[in-house]
A and B are shown apart, each in its own frame.
Chain A
């Protein structure tokens, strides 16, 4: 017994290894250097960006100046892009989560005609590259008059096969059939059961899916690039790339300092969201992977 508990100690709680920590620290450096570079260069003015070396600070600390300029440049268009991105994230990622939650639950807990068909089709969808759909979707949407409207970005982001899959495996495990049967015996309708009983059980799964669809929508570039022609509907990603492309050709207006500061500002909300919610969504992901 004593021997066993000793070995158990060494397996699950071994000594910290400096070699391993050192090795991982190297990798950490690789992860961090570009981000540090970004932070440092967001503090430089356009001229000193050009005249100083990458990992040292410029002659003046212009971060707040840059942030101010980023938000006011071109009539505050960056603010508008931020708002658009939030709109796409809230409606698109929010809607995707709702649809995926309902459908995942339905697939996990009901047997109905066509269930296998749904499974096959969604499985196929995971394998089809979404970007391969972009061009036909554009042509279709343009025939429907949806291009250059927020709907053109929102509708396609409402579908998250990965989210559906995650909720599916999560719900199969996290919601005992007995619970549903008990509610039915109490006379609750299916929708009420879903809203009052199921959702609570699914919270970690839902948070996980929310974060993944959120990242996906926040980072969405290809689709809005194709669908939108007016900057007033751009999300941050497309807008930033336009700022970067603005340095080209006659009448060039390079604003690399704003591109860098804007990039930094684009990353921060996601990083904060991840840090704040990491406990929840990691447990959701772990639960999801039990079934894998």
Chain B
């Protein structure tokens, strides 16, 4: 027993030392906005000195990227860890931050989850390394999402401007033209399902990320954040515009009752049961790797709009951030810079990722690539132009991951019982308001 105890004590001592080290490093990166800008010198020096860092990510290209990085900088050892996909990783990251040790140096974080970690002072402000000057190199919609107040909490990796992916074969067979407006989309949904009851225009079983992106496109801005003051308004006219439209699909039972990303769903994409998807530009890689049955049948078109004028929204996409617990934040920052502003971008694109760097979004090699899976269509022409049409001015909640976790308890019920999205969103709003007020925000309902 005594052996165990001394071991526990030793472990506790290590933890304490780590906590002290964190204390020291965070002293240097004070979050006072004015003092935060610096130069890349310390980053270059850290890269030269070498060292060891840990990187959490679930992106498929991470392994190749880490290998390429280590080849380029043999004196840096990167421990790549897949700590779980999105919310599983956030839970673990949150736990490690709460425990005061065990967090990685660099973590992949989706844009929607970033404010939560930025606000709790868990991430390093990259302005101190002079990364603020990279702004012009990224699409405006992604850059806006890695900033929080004056702080810069990551460099954008991918982006997900939304587009319409559709099964051309099914559309053609049933005489359906590619819808340009949402009204046409609903007509297409009815026509398709009437012609062939086994086919559905799309599937949606209630995904908070999708819902928010759709509201974003419709012009709704349900969240506004000013420090500790948060306003939540799901009665915003933009929100109503979307719910009125989408409710028609739900109430009309025109959505395939298949859970996204389940094995059923992948099968349904392959056999035409689900004949279109409105989703982020990162989707093609998933089609190619996971829906082999759909090869040659799928195509890409701009996202339908309410008035026929092009406008879209971001869906998904992530950034790499330096965690404040890092003992070598400058080296961690160097790795982030290499990943998303250096040689790491190409392996990412090669694995099917959709970049956020303007140089790649405009490079002819990328834009004009004919993709065999999509019947040789130059899909990136559609997708890159979508990235220019993202509606500006969107804000996520400072505790979006929590909000998303209770979506199914509230708004999700609207999908099961077909009780109307407005009522569901109102219940979600209530849960969001209650939680925020409990956690020290001043949240008001709009």
A binds B: yes
Q: Taking the nearest CB of chain B, how far is it from the CB of A247, in angstroms?
A: 5
B283 contacts across to A, CB distance below 8 A? 250
Give min CB distance, B100 to chain A, whole Å.
8
A145 proximity list for chain B (CB < 8 A): 11-12, 14-15, 101
Q: Is A4 an interface residue (CB 8 A)?
A: no
CA distance A242 to B81 in the complex (A): 13
Q: Chain B residues near A230 (CB, 8 Å)?
A: 81, 83
Shortest distance between the CB of A154 and any CB in chain B (Å): 10
B102 at the interface (CB under 8 A from A): yes
8 Å CB contacts to A: which residues of B245-271? 261-263, 266-267, 270-271
**Minimum CB–CB distance for A233 against chain B, Å:** 11
Residue among A51, A155, A242, A252 making CB contact with B286, cutoff 8 Å: A252
Give CA–CA (A229, B289) in the complex, Å: 27
Tell me if B85 and A144 are in contact (CB < 8 A).
no
Per-position 1/0 for B69-81, Cβ under 8 A of A: 0000000000001
Tell me the bound Cα distance from A231 to B63 in angstroms: 15
Query: Beyond A245-B84, A253-B60, is A144–B12 a contact (Cβ under 8 Å)?
Result: yes
Interface size class of A (residues with CB under 8 A): 20 to 34
Contact A144 B15 (CB under 8 A): yes
Interface centre among A145, A148, A151 (most CB of B within 10 A): A145
Residues 397-419 of B contacting A (Cβ, < 8 Å): none
Q: Check: A147 CB closer than 8 A to any chain B CB.
A: yes
Contact B8 A144 (CB under 8 A): yes
Residues in A with CB closer than 8 Å to B355 are: none
Residues in B whose Cβ lies below 8 Å from that of A250: 158, 160, 280, 282-283, 286, 316-318
CB atoms of B292 and A142 under 8 A apart: no
Check if B290 is an interface residue, CB within 8 A of chain A: yes
Tell me, rounded to whole Å, the shortest Cβ–Cβ distance linking B157 to chain A. 10
Return the contact of A245 from the options B59, B85, B271 (Cβ within 8 A).
Answer: B85
In residues 240-289 of chain A, which contact B (Cβ within 8 Å)? 242, 245-254, 256
Nearest A-chain residue to B207, judged by Cβ: A249
Q: How far is the CA of A144 from the CA of B283 in the complex (A)?
A: 43
Find chain B residues with CB under 8 A from A229 CB. Answer: 83, 92, 95-96, 102
Which residues in B have their C-beta under 8 angstroms from that of A251? 58-61, 282, 285-286, 353
Which residue of the partner chain B has the closest CB to A246?
A: B85
Contact with B along A140-156 (1 / 0, CB 8 A): 00111111110100010
CB contact between B266 and one of A138, A151, A231, A254 (< 8 Å): that residue? A254
Residues of B with C-beta under 8 A to A51: 267, 270-271, 293
Closest-CB distance, A157 to chain B (whole angstroms): 14
Q: Is the CB of B263 within 8 A of A148?
A: no
**CB-contacts of A124-147 with B (<8 A):** 138, 142-147
Q: Is A80 at the interface (CB under 8 A from chain B)?
A: no
Interface centre among B60, B266, B353, by most chain A C-beta atoms within 10 angstroms, is B266
Asked if A47 is at the interface (CB within 8 A of a chain B CB), the reply is yes
Write 30 A-B pairs (CB below 8 A) sorted by A numbering.
A50-B263, A74-B82, A138-B95, A142-B100, A142-B102, A143-B99, A145-B14, A147-B95, A148-B102, A149-B11, A229-B92, A229-B95, A230-B81, A230-B83, A231-B82, A231-B83, A232-B81, A242-B84, A242-B88, A247-B261, A247-B262, A247-B263, A247-B266, A248-B85, A249-B85, A250-B160, A250-B280, A250-B282, A252-B286, A252-B290
Q: Which residues of B are in contact with A by a Cβ distance under 8 Å?
A: 4, 7-8, 11-12, 14-15, 58-61, 81-86, 88, 92, 95-96, 98-102, 158, 160, 261-263, 266-267, 270-271, 280, 282-283, 285-286, 289-290, 292-293, 316-318, 353
Per CB-CB distance, the 3 closest pairs between chain A and chain B, nearest first, are A145-B15, A142-B99, A145-B11
Given contact pairs A230-B81, A252-B261, enumerate 11 new A-B contacts (beta carbons under 8 Å): A50-B293, A51-B267, A74-B82, A144-B15, A145-B11, A147-B95, A231-B82, A246-B58, A249-B316, A250-B317, A251-B58
